[in-house]
């Protein structure tokens, strides 16, 4: 058995509840579920989460920050997404996703994007629909209850908890900065989990 290289210590993932899914499970997310707890909650495979976060960091780093958009309607993720945007220079839309912002060039705040990251495909479905119309790849944080239609890269995780969202965006920021050569090692990363965690 090869030793898994975790992007943060395994206990940090577990403490944040990154792997605790919902009682609902979609067919697509079954392959990421490690087991079902006695209370019915899904437990997601931490190794797969870690690998997908690594992939997401690599994928994000292939694009110029101005060509990437993050969408997060869920309030628990706002602080994490804002901090991620501040560290990476990637634009974010928190709260309501402005309709037509990607599809209607006549809008004042029209933006072009080559990659979209959504915090949850359910509340952020309009961004996914727009991306699908335009052929823009989507990275999505998906819980056990998510449908994964029109998503390029699924990152299985608890996409509802503020601690879980904090650690995800912290890890993604660090991986993005490392993959783009802004920082050379984890030690150079200035972000702390508190900076990403909602009150």
Residue 111 lies in a domain: yes
Tokens of 132: 């699908």
Residue 194 lies in a domain: no
Q: What is the pLDDT along the chain (199 residues), one digit of tens a residue?
A: 456 789 999 999 999 999 999 999 999 999 999 999 999 999 999 999 999 999 999 999 999 999 999 999 999 999 999 999 999 999 999 999 988 899 999 988 899 999 999 999 999 999 999 999 999 999 999 999 999 999 999 999 999 999 999 999 999 999 999 999 999 998 999 889 999 998 8
Residue 143 lies in a domain: yes
Residue 188 lies in a domain: no
Residue 169 lies in a domain: yes
Residue 93 lies in a domain: yes
Q: For residue 14, give its domain range.
A: 10-181
Q: Provide the domain count of the chain.
A: 1
pTM across the whole model: 0.94
* CATH number, residue 63: 3.40.50.10490
DSSP string, the chain: -PPP--SS-HHHHHHTTTTB--S---TGGGGGEEEE-TTS-EEE-HHHHHHHHHHHHHHHHTS-GGGEEEEE--GGGHHHHHHHHHHH--EEEESSPPTTTTT-TTSTT----SEEEES-TTTTHHHHHHHHHHT--EEEEE-TT---TT-SEEEES--S-HHHHHHHHHHHHHHHHHHTTS-SSGGG----HHHHS--
Residue 162 lies in a domain: yes
């Amino acid at each position: 058995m090869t030793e898994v290289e975790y992007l943060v210590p395994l206990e940090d993932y577990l403490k944040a509840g990154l792997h605790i899914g919902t009682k609902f499970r979609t067919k697509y997310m079954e392959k990421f579920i490690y087991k079902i707890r006695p209370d019915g909650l899904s437990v997601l495979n931490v190794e797969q989460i870690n690998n997908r976060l690594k992939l997401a960091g690599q994928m994000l780093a292939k694009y110029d920050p101005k060509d990437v958009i993050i969408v997060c309607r869920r309030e628990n993720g706002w602080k994490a997404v804002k901090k991620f945007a501040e560290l990476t220079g990637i634009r974010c839309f928190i709260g309501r996703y402005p309709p037509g912002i990607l599809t209607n060039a006549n809008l004042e705040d029209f933006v072009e994007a080559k990659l979209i990251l959504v915090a949850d495909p359910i509340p952020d479905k309009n961004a996914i629909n727009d991306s699908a119309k335009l052929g823009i790849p989507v990275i999505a944080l998906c819980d056990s209850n998510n449908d994964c239609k029109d998503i390029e890269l699924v990152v299985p995780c608890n996409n509802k908890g503020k601690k879980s969202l904090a650690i995800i965006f912290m890890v993604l920021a660090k991986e993005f900065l490392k993959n783009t050569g802004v920082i050379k090692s984890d030690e150079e990363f200035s972000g702390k989990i508190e900076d990403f965690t909602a009150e």
